[in-house]
């Protein structure tokens, strides 16, 4: 990334020197091209030691004397442009004096130099998103910027040495704010250190100003910093205890060198443990860079740390850390991490930073424009982001702008995690990343959002094929994760940003192919959560399962019963295509192979024979092969079907998402933001990454959109009504103990544990023939599996929809659905005038309490579909509500 031109020359960049550069030329100042001057050893050393100008420019013009110490300062070249401060009255001051006279009093929390003052070319080098005019005018003296101890902005060695001073300058300029900053006590030391540092010309110093952005792909779960995390976690429990990562302040390089550097360095394989030490050490150093945070809050750093949300606590694997510390002499200090939200990973290119983290680890900014930060990735590639904030209420919202190129470069998507670390002693900031699919166990254990992201920890696939990063995890641990994390999800529903928030963002080109899935296939990928029975809604012939809880993505399997009547499922190995028998309650990943057969070790290898005979297999597959056709047969071939298929993109998106992730917990499917749920038609959710392609507008009323939205609305409604329903149910039972009612779901389950001829597709609970003329199955027709348990809240009114989603387009959607419902009901009334006894009537009674009626979650009241037993099944029903009668497991 650096010095292409400079490096292209074999001679030292110093025009005064004609020596050849070594194989590993020393880095000098940043050129206007953005590259770093490459110097020969001699010149490089001079530069590093801060005597470059004295050595080579002594006779050049531009020398001035410090107004305080009278020391000669070269002000006439780019090399020295950051080594002095322009005084308001005129004249200059060396940084050392500036520090004493200005900086110290102001107690700048940040080490000087944080400003990124590289030439525009550099700034724009990797940025295609936006231009930062600010940079152009900022020059070496970032007058606009707030003082920052943070070295993150600068990446060139030159900056290191001079930057500190530069920072001081800015600090001085902004010293007005000094009062808000850290107590002088801590600052003094920092500044002192910095002032010295530049002079000493430690190589490390230079790096200090760089933010390194490392691309990390955690693959090694076993060696992940789980321990660290755990330890960390334990510490988290105790607010008084400094916390890993967060506690790591931006210590002056000196201190870092002295303390931190000693700690871990190189082989960070043992980083986890050492890290902790590191952190402690740093904290003890009093380097508490938290000072930054205090700049505004004036809170003690410890307090600050304690307030940082766990979700931002950095969690890195050894590999990650090692990868970050490209430099063998570096020690990685994880600062914080953030799971990318849909908007973070979106095309807008704005990464919202946790406020506290931003204030704690990023240079303080006093102006909304903020300042450009240079970040390096693992490969050493520099990225420049604009670190700024927006006034938000009485607070601030910190964002990194211009992250799109980087995000794309790293193939990051919503749900993936970016980690900010600090490379010690260079002081570089490292922005690593972790794909959601490779989340560490600790992530999952400690971070609900990760779980929500479907952070399938299964790293096998990922490990084997880095190129598959963009793909969601295919591991077989999805199901397990689901099970394992389920409680967590329940416990902490929202947790935090969900990786999988953004549907479209998670769909890569290759995945688009998957979107071509038929809706059956898409639905087939969805499986109800363990022990949950989905209710099935059929709209225009399309079935949609509804799960009370988040569905999971699983490999389509065939459910049946074995000789002894035990429910089992058959799954086909991805590799050998052999069918294996598994327990019915086994949740499988979308990609399943014999090796994943934990239930039957004897057949956990593709070399093992298949248990099924050809005939048996044919029998087994027969229903499957016929189901779709039958289903489609019953489906009216109307244009809506096209929409439905298109709309399946939405559904398929979900499926795709789920492939790698645990299917996002209902409301979390797309984002923490309640407005973004599967089916959400906002631009973020609907637009494909490319911004091209068909979109589902908010007003889209295609069946799928309708249903998907409805599905989630159902979840909301259920949540709201759960309590009241329970009460109502109880009351109902008490009041009408003798009244004949449709069997309750539980009963149905008992009666028909294995409906559908022992064969179910995709889901153990799914009945592929619900709308296949088998609606006359009373059992199925009763939404036995519905959370409503046959006792829908009939008090729900369509208007409720508006309440639930004010301003949404659900209203219109619901109107359509209602129309369809009415149509359906009319059909019912015609055909079932003498319908089932439990059918209260042929007309929908919004406020009717008939047990034979059901109210869709969307507020549409439906009569039990089983009443249409004698209806023409060849005609698709506009709306049909039924419930699968099969129980999972």
Partner DNA sequence: GATATGCATGGCG
Partner DNA sequence: GCGCCATGCATAT
Contact positions toward DNA, by CB under 7 A?
129-131, 309, 312, 338, 341-344, 347-350, 352-357, 368-369, 390-398, 401, 414, 492-497, 501-502, 667, 670-676, 680, 682-685, 691, 807
- Nearest approach, Cβ of residue 684 and DNA (Å): 4
CA–CA separation, 662 vs 659, rounded Å? 7
- Nearest approach, Cβ of residue 296 and DNA (Å): 9
CA nearest neighbour of 229 among 316, 308, 357, 323: 316
Q: Specify the residue for token string 């980690």.
A: 419
- Whether 410 contacts 433, CB under 8 Å: yes
- Nearest approach, Cβ of residue 669 and DNA (Å): 10
- Tokens at 306, concatenated: 């304690």
- Nearest approach, Cβ of residue 472 and DNA (Å): 18
Tallying the residues shown for the chain, one arrives at 889
- Tokens at 100, concatenated: 């004493």
In the bound state with DNA, the residue whose beta carbon lies nearer, of 444 and 500, is 500
- Whether 300 contacts 247, CB under 8 Å: no
CA–CA separation, 336 vs 212, rounded Å? 14
- Nearest approach, Cβ of residue 523 and DNA (Å): 25
CA–CA separation, 269 vs 691, rounded Å? 42
* Max CA pair span of the chain: 109
- Whether 670 contacts 678, CB under 8 Å: yes
- Nearest approach, Cβ of residue 369 and DNA (Å): 7
In the bound state with DNA, the residue whose beta carbon lies nearer, of 173 and 680, is 680
In the bound state with DNA, the residue whose beta carbon lies nearer, of 266 and 491, is 491
**Phi-psi domain of 318 (left: phi exceeds 0; alpha: psi -120 through 50; beta: other):** alpha
In the bound state with DNA, the residue whose beta carbon lies nearer, of 392 and 736, is 392
In the bound state with DNA, the residue whose beta carbon lies nearer, of 398 and 559, is 398
In the bound state with DNA, the residue whose beta carbon lies nearer, of 276 and 548, is 548
CA–CA separation, 111 vs 872, rounded Å? 79
In the bound state with DNA, the residue whose beta carbon lies nearer, of 501 and 580, is 501
182 three-class SS: coil
Q: How would you write 738-788 as a 3-class SS string?
A: CCCCCCCHHHHHHHCCCCHHHCEECCCCCCCCCCCCCCCCHHHHCCCCCCC
Q: Specify the residue for token string 């590999």.
A: 319
- Nearest approach, Cβ of residue 373 and DNA (Å): 15
- Nearest approach, Cβ of residue 687 and DNA (Å): 9
CA–CA separation, 155 vs 482, rounded Å? 43
In the bound state with DNA, the residue whose beta carbon lies nearer, of 283 and 680, is 680
In the bound state with DNA, the residue whose beta carbon lies nearer, of 131 and 241, is 131
- Whether 91 contacts 64, CB under 8 Å: yes
- Nearest approach, Cβ of residue 427 and DNA (Å): 24
- Whether 520 contacts 628, CB under 8 Å: yes
- Nearest approach, Cβ of residue 805 and DNA (Å): 9
Q: Specify the residue for token string 């979840």.
A: 715
Cα 356-358-363 angle, rounded to 5 deg: 130
In the bound state with DNA, the residue whose beta carbon lies nearer, of 348 and 747, is 348
- Nearest approach, Cβ of residue 449 and DNA (Å): 9
- Nearest approach, Cβ of residue 441 and DNA (Å): 22
- Nearest approach, Cβ of residue 341 and DNA (Å): 3
Query: In angstroms, what CA-CA distances link 464 with 468, 469, 508, 604, 678?
Result: 9, 10, 19, 20, 31
In the bound state with DNA, the residue whose beta carbon lies nearer, of 272 and 664, is 664
In the bound state with DNA, the residue whose beta carbon lies nearer, of 811 and 850, is 811
Encode burial over 212-223: b for 16+ CB neighbours within 10 A, e otherwise: bbbbbbbbbbeb
- Nearest approach, Cβ of residue 13 and DNA (Å): 33
Q: Please report, to the nearest 10 degrees, the dihedral formed by the alpha carbons of residues 85, 86, 92, 98 taken in order.
A: -40
- Nearest approach, Cβ of residue 693 and DNA (Å): 12
In the bound state with DNA, the residue whose beta carbon lies nearer, of 239 and 834, is 239
In the bound state with DNA, the residue whose beta carbon lies nearer, of 342 and 862, is 342
β-pair partners for 94: 84
CA–CA separation, 883 vs 855, rounded Å? 13
- Whether 542 contacts 770, CB under 8 Å: no
Q: Specify the residue for token string 């589902």.
A: 696
In the bound state with DNA, the residue whose beta carbon lies nearer, of 684 and 814, is 684
CA–CA separation, 712 vs 715, rounded Å? 5
In the bound state with DNA, the residue whose beta carbon lies nearer, of 285 and 681, is 681
- Tokens at 317, concatenated: 């694997």
In the bound state with DNA, the residue whose beta carbon lies nearer, of 172 and 495, is 495
- Nearest approach, Cβ of residue 718 and DNA (Å): 14
Q: How would you write 372-410 as a 3-class SS string?
A: EEEEECCCCCEEEEEEEEEEECCEEEEEEECCHHHHHHC
DSSP assignment of 657-700 equals: HHHHSPPPPGGGTT-SSTT--TT--SHHHHS-TTS-S----TT-
Query: In angstroms, what CA-CA distances link 843 with 660, 798, 823?
Result: 45, 16, 11
- Nearest approach, Cβ of residue 495 and DNA (Å): 7
- Nearest approach, Cβ of residue 685 and DNA (Å): 6
In the bound state with DNA, the residue whose beta carbon lies nearer, of 390 and 599, is 390
The DSSP letter of residue 799 is H
169 three-class SS: helix
């Amino acid at each position: 990334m650096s010095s292409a031109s400079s490096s292209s020359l074999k001679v030292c960049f110093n025009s005064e020197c004609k020596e050849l550069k070594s194989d590993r030329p020393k880095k000098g100042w940043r050129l206007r091209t953005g590259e770093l001057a490459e110097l020969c050893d001699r010149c490089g050393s001079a530069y590093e030691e801060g005597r470059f100008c004295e050595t080579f420019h002594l006779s050049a013009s531009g020398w001035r004397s410090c107004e305080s110490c009278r020391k000669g300062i070269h002000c006439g070249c780019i090399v020295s442009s950051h080594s002095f401060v322009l005084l308001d009255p005129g004249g200059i001051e060396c940084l050392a004096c500036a520090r004493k006279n200005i900086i110290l009093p102001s107690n700048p929390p940040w080490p000087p130099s944080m400003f990124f003052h590289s030439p525009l070319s550099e700034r724009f080098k990797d940025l295609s998103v936006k231009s930062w005019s600010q940079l152009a005018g900022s020059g070496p003296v970032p007058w606009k910027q707030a003082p920052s101890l943070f070295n993150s902005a600068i990446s060139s060695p030159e900056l290191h040495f001079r930057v500190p001073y530069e920072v001081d300058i800015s600090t001085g300029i902004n010293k007005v704010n000094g009062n808000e900053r850290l107590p002088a006590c801590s600052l003094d030391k920092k500044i002192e250190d910095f002032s010295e540092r530049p002079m000493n010309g430690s190589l490390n110093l230079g790096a200090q100003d760089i933010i390194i952005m490392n691309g990390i792909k955690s693959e090694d779960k076993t060696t992940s910093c789980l321990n660290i995390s755990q330890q960390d976690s334990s510490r988290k429990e105790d607010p008084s205890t400094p916390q890993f990562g967060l506690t790591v302040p931006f210590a002056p390089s000196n201190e870092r060198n002295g303390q931190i550097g000693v700690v871990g360095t190189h082989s960070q394989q043992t980083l986890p443990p050492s890290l902790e030490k590191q952190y402690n050490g740093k904290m003890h150093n009093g380097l508490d860079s938290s000072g930054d945070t205090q700049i505004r809050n004036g809170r003690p750093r410890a307090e600050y740390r304690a307030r940082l949300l766990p979700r931002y606590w950095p969690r890195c694997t050894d590999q990650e850390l090692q990868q970050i510390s490209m430099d063998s002499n570096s020690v990685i200090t994880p600062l914080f991490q953030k799971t990318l939200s849909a908007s973070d990973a979106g095309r807008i290119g704005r990464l919202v930073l946790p406020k506290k983290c931003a204030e704690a680890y990023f240079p303080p900014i006093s102006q909304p424009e903020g300042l450009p930060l240079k970040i390096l990735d693992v490969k050493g590639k520099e990225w420049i982001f604009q670190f700024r904030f927006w006034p938000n209420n009485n607070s601030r919202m910190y964002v990194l702008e211009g992250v799109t190129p980087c995000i794309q470069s790293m193939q990051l998507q919503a749900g993936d995690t970016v980690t900010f670390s600090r490379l010690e002693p260079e002081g570089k900031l490292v922005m690593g990343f972790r794909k959601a699919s490779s989340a560490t166990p600790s992530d999952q254990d400690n971070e609900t959002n990760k779980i929500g992201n479907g952070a399938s920890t299964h790293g096998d696939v990922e490990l084997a094929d880095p190129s598959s990063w963009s793909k969601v995890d295919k591991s077989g641990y999805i199901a397990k994760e689901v099970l394992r994390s389920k409680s967590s999800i329940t416990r902490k529903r929202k947790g935090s940003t969900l990786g999988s928030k953004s549907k479209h963002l998670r769909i890569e080109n290759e995945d688009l192919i998957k979107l071509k899935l038929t809706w059956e296939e898409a639905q087939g990928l969805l499986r109800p959560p363990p022990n949950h029975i989905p209710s099935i809604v059929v709209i225009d012939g399309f079935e949609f399962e509804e799960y009370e809880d988040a569905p999971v993505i699983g490999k389509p399997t065939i459910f049946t019963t074995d000789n002894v009547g035990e429910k089992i499922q058959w799954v086909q190995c991805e590799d050998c295509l052999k069918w294996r028998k598994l327990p019915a309650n086994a949740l499988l990943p979308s990609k399943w192979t014999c090796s994943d057969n934990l239930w039957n070790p004897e057949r956990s290898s593709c070399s093992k024979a298949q248990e099924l005979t050809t005939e048996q297999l044919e029998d087994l597959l027969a229903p499957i092969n016929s189901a779709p056709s039958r289903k489609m047969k019953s489906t009216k071939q109307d244009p809506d079907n096209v929409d439905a298929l298109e709309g399946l993109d939405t559904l398929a998106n979900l499926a795709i998402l789920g492939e790698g992730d645990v299917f996002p917990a209902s409301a979390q499917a797309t984002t923490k933001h309640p407005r973004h749920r599967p089916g959400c038609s906002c631009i973020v959710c609907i637009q494909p990454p490319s911004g091209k392609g068909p979109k589902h507008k908010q007003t889209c009323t295609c069946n799928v959109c309708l249903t998907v939205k409805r599905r989630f609305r159902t979840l909301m409604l259920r949540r709201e009504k759960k309590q009241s329903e329970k009460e109502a149910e109880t009351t109902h039972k008490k009041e009408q103990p003798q009244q004949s009612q449709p069997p309750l779901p539980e009963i149905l389950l008992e009666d028909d544990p294995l409906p559908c001829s022992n064969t179910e597709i995709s889901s153990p609970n799914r009945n592929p023939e619900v709308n296949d003329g088998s609606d006359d199955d009373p059992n199925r027709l009763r939404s036995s599996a519905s959370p409503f348990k046959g006792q829908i809240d009939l008090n729900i009114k369509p208007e409720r929809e508006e309440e639930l989603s004010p301003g949404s387009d659900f209203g219109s959607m619901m109107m359509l659905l209602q129309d369809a419902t009415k149509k359906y009901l009319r059909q019912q009334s015609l055909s079932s005038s003498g319908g089932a006894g439990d059918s209260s009537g042929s007309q929908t009674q919004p406020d009717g309490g008939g047990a034979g009626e059901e109210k869709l979650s969307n507020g549409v009241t439906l009569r039990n579909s089983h009443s249409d037993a004698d209806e023409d099944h060849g005609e698709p029903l506009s709306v049909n509500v039924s419930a699968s009668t099969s129980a999972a497991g």
